Structure 1
Amino acid sequence: MPSPSRYSINEASSDGSEDSEPLIQNNAVPRQCCSARLNLAILMFFGFSVVYGLRVNLSVAMVAMVNTTDPQPTDNTSVVHACPLPSGEDNASQNFQHPDGTPQYPWDSETQGWLLGAFFFGYLCTQILGGYLAGHYGGKIFLGLGVLGTAALTLLTPLAAQWGSYWLFGLRALEGFGEGVTFPAMMSMWARWAPPLERSRLMTLSGSGANFGAFVALPLTGYICQTLGWPAVFYLCGGAGCLWSFFWFMFVSDDPRTHPRISEEERDYIVNSIGSQGTGHGWSVPVLSMLLSVPLWTIIVTQMCSNWSYYTLLTSLPTYMDTILHFDLQSNSFLSALPYLGAWLASTLSGVAADALIERRVFSVTVVRKIFTTTGLMLPAAFLVAVGYAGCSHILTVTFLTLSTTAGGTSAPGVYINQIDIAPRYAGFLLGITNTFGTIPGVVAPIVTGYFTEKHTLEGWRNVFWVAAGINASGALVYMIFGSGKIQPWAVAEEEKPEGERRRRRRSSQSDSS
């Protein structure tokens, strides 16, 4: 009889039942406090905080970089249905105070749009390749260099802006190119580091750094622009990324087997609980089986639907706060950041709750993923519809927007970590695939938003929120029907399959040859 410490929920089940897979015994679980795996999650958290700071800083800094960021429409009738201006009609964004000597550039709205979208052109290019290479070699080098490269390029932003908009566009595209490998590399590392009963909380903790980074970067960037000038934003953000990279390469290892400071008890727990799936894949991957995998396509479709509303708010919320509700610049930056604080808290707490449900066998992995995915898509959809009918009420609008993004954070332990359930060994590669598709809404959603809001009316924005809510609900429906948390047959190597199945396959092949 095998020892309990050798049990793994990643081993292939003899009868194909997800719930029949043995779980590692509780008395074999070492404490998580101050453990190597928790330290890795915290370091990743700060890494992704920096990554999102590097991603969104230009959105706010653009206000200070150009002479006019939101020219008034020439047709006065186009704003007849918009909310009234506040008393005094003082829009602080049009009276932005700059430190002496801060350069400004005459970029029109179209140029600004291209500069803000340049990042995604590069970001789309390296997701799949980064996930594939990280799955083979390990994620440490790719995540570390992704952040370091993006940070180093960010330091050149003031120089590129001085040379011209084309140079800045190219620089931002290169930043996206470097940052594209970071999330797939994270998934590849957790495939080797995250015990199955701790996946939800470890991965949501590390990934929630993205929401925390957006929450900190949006108001902080505005403050730095006013006090030190917009070039300081890129120097400070770039320096923070370089500093983080130093600690990353100093203290992180690709695999618990090679970590110099991990305890023997923790190393054995991680290695035995993950099982043989906690190793890198070879050069060949089952691409055809992946293309025909219904659970994988379910993740792709659901993430695209969820990201539509996320990117709609990320790129257009400051515009809505300005053109419809007429918040001043300081209030705009803070209120635009507030929803991401809620999403950070919701995703972290949801990860703990998801692991508790799985560990105590309240629900199977599949059911847990479906619960949190459905909650994280349907509730935001309802709150987005409510935003469209909040009218000019500042309090209701901010409340519904904050609740929508906060509720969306509960999908973090759902579809967003589902790749590691269905194929742990190929998790980084799969995340590269799903994240590539998931980035497409970041390009398309702002275009659709611009089409509906061309006349800056409440009705146009109501259509934006209805479309986003409908797409969210469609993603929830698809995942409820086709989603799965069970490891797929194509993700299991021949030597990992039960002996009975291997014997049947050998007999079948012998009979075919005869």
Structure 2
Amino acid sequence: MAYITLLSNVTLMAQNVIINITMVAMVNSTDHQSQVNGSTEGLPVDSFGGPNKAPERLPARGSGLGGQFALWEKWIPPHERSRLCTIALSGMPLASFIAILLGGLICQTYGWPLVFYIFGGIGCVCCILWFVLVYDDPVYHPWISTSEKEYIISSLVQEVSSSKKFLPIRAMSKSLPLWSMILCCFSHQWLITILMVYTPTYISSVYNVNIRDNGIFSAIPFFVAGVVGILGGQLADFLLTKSFRLITVRKMATVLGVLPSSALIVALPYLNSSCTTTVALLTISCGLTSLSQSGIYINALDIAPRHSSFLIGASRGFAYIAAILTPAISGYLLSQDPEFGWRNVFLLVFAINILGLIFFLIFGEANVQDWAKERKLTHL
């Protein structure tokens, strides 16, 4: 289930990224040769999603994440959530790595239409695997062993049920643990958007790196992020077996995914002695951000497992507001102050992330909230 979901996330995110890689070729070229040049030249700036392209793709990504967490409600035992969820979620940075690295190469060698055929074909294969192998409840899965089925059901018996779910909207709107998760997701998305949209432009503008090398430099951090995310999930569940409190693990993962990453971003303008140093800092920063997958990004399963799919959809929808605001505000700062614009952009990232992190550290919880317990739902 985890690896099929990983493949789904790779497909979902890669199809978002390749639109940006191929769009320049499609709109700026009239023949095959100009398509090749256009697609390559557009890669560093647009390959991660520009401000005018991101909103049209957000609904698909939000519904994809919400659907996954609807599965995890019934499938993942509490002490295996970190490792399995991070395996699935790591498909997104790995997709960026694959699409950025291969998209321009395919465009250059065979033309931009083949990019859609390849990644679209992968999506069709993923759909077939999903329809055949994925079931929304282990009870109905035809190939699961009896022992595994009983283990999963018994581990979740206190959290989920087959009864109809009513959303306690009023109680949810007053829940500080829920809002702390949402606001921290918002601030972290601001950091991720900067890493996606502006760091390739930063490398190009500061060091005048050629287009091809910039594309490679832009892809490497996302490979590291995918690997670190998986390892972080393994570490989080290992700590739980060593009697660490769940909320301690969630907050540790979030701190490690937010604080060092945003601090390294702030250090970029002051440690710009070489392109190699900058790329190394960006790679470490991007890699560490994935540790938050074991923190805020699966916290919904802790505080409200019965409603986690709705909460993830809502929190990601709120977080994607940052994906819309970030390019507009960052672009304004860069245009108003050419000398210190990058410094101001990175300081703003740091400030927003620290505020979101502090709010989560103060109000974040990992126990099932009263409004998410079944006994409360009978009164709504």
Q: Could you tell me the TM-score, scaled by structure 2's length?
A: 0.91
Q: Match of 2:135, SS?
A: coil
Deviation for aligned residue 1:395: 1.1
Give the Cα separation in 2 of the matches to 1:256 and 1:407.
33
Amino acid at match of 1:228: Y
Match of residue 367 from structure 1: 248
- State how many pairs are aligned: 372
Q: Match of 1:324, SS?
A: helix
Distance of aligned partners of 1:103 and 1:376 in 2 relative to their CA distance in 1, 3 Å threshold: closer
Matched, 1:323 2:205: yes
Give the Cα separation in 1 of the matches to 2:61 and 2:361.
31
The C-alpha deviation readout for 1:6-25, integer Å capped at 9, x for no partner, is xxxxxxxxxxxxxxxxxxxx
Give the Cα separation in 2 of the matches to 1:355 and 1:443.
34
Match of residue 65 from structure 1: 26
Deviation for aligned residue 1:277: 2.3
Give the Cα separation in 2 of the matches to 1:186 and 1:441.
22
Give the Cα separation in 1 of the matches to 2:120 and 2:359.
40
Deviation for aligned residue 1:275: 0.8
Match of residue 309 from structure 1: 191
Match of residue 219 from structure 1: 101
Deviation for aligned residue 1:178: 3.4
Q: Match of 2:199, SS?
A: helix
Distance of aligned partners of 1:409 and 1:103 in 2 relative to their CA distance in 1, 3 Å threshold: closer
Matched, 1:204 2:86: yes
Matched, 1:41 2:2: yes
Q: Conserved in 2, the CA contact under 8 Å of 1:192 and 1:274?
A: yes
Deviation for aligned residue 1:61: 2.5
Amino acid at match of 1:46: L
Q: Conserved in 2, the CA contact under 8 Å of 1:304 and 1:437?
A: yes
Distance of aligned partners of 1:283 and 1:485 in 2 relative to their CA distance in 1, 3 Å threshold: closer
Distance of aligned partners of 1:414 and 1:423 in 2 relative to their CA distance in 1, 3 Å threshold: same
Give the Cα separation in 1 of the matches to 2:376 and 2:334.
57
The C-alpha deviation readout for 1:440-495, integer Å capped at 9, x for no partner, is 11000011121122278452112111111121122221111111111101111118
Select between 254-263 and 343-352 the one with higher mean Cα deviation: 343-352
Deviation for aligned residue 1:45: 0.7
Match of residue 429 from structure 1: 310
Q: Conserved in 2, the CA contact under 8 Å of 1:323 and 1:456?
A: no
Distance of aligned partners of 1:350 and 1:102 in 2 relative to their CA distance in 1, 3 Å threshold: closer
Give the Cα separation in 2 of the matches to 1:102 and 1:496.
57
**Which residue of 435, 441, 466 maps to 2:347?**
466
Amino acid at match of 1:45: L
State which structure, 1 or 2, has the greater radius of gyration over its C-alpha atoms: 1
Match of residue 327 from structure 2: 446
Q: Conserved in 2, the CA contact under 8 Å of 1:66 and 1:104?
A: no
Give the Cα separation in 2 of the matches to 1:461 and 1:199.
38
Matched, 1:287 2:248: no
Q: Conserved in 1, the CA contact under 8 Å of 2:300 and 2:312?
A: yes
Deviation for aligned residue 1:276: 4.3
Q: Conserved in 2, the CA contact under 8 Å of 1:324 and 1:457?
A: no
Amino acid at match of 1:352: Q
Structure 1 unaligned runs (5+)? 1-39, 69-97, 122-172, 498-504, 506-514
Q: Conserved in 1, the CA contact under 8 Å of 2:69 and 2:308?
A: yes
Amino acid at match of 2:26: M
Q: Match of 1:285, SS?
A: coil
Match of residue 477 from structure 1: 358
Structure 1's consecutive aligned runs of 4 or more residues displaced over 6 angstroms after TM superposition are none
Amino acid at match of 1:316: Y
Q: CA RMSD in A?
A: 2.6
Q: Match of 2:124, SS?
A: helix
Match of residue 369 from structure 2: 488
The C-alpha deviation readout for 1:318-368, integer Å capped at 9, x for no partner, is 22222332221211111111111111111111111111111221x211111
Structure with greater helix share of residues: 2
Q: Conserved in 1, the CA contact under 8 Å of 2:10 and 2:94?
A: yes
Q: Conserved in 2, the CA contact under 8 Å of 1:65 and 1:103?
A: no
Structure 2 unaligned runs (5+)? none
Match of residue 378 from structure 1: 259
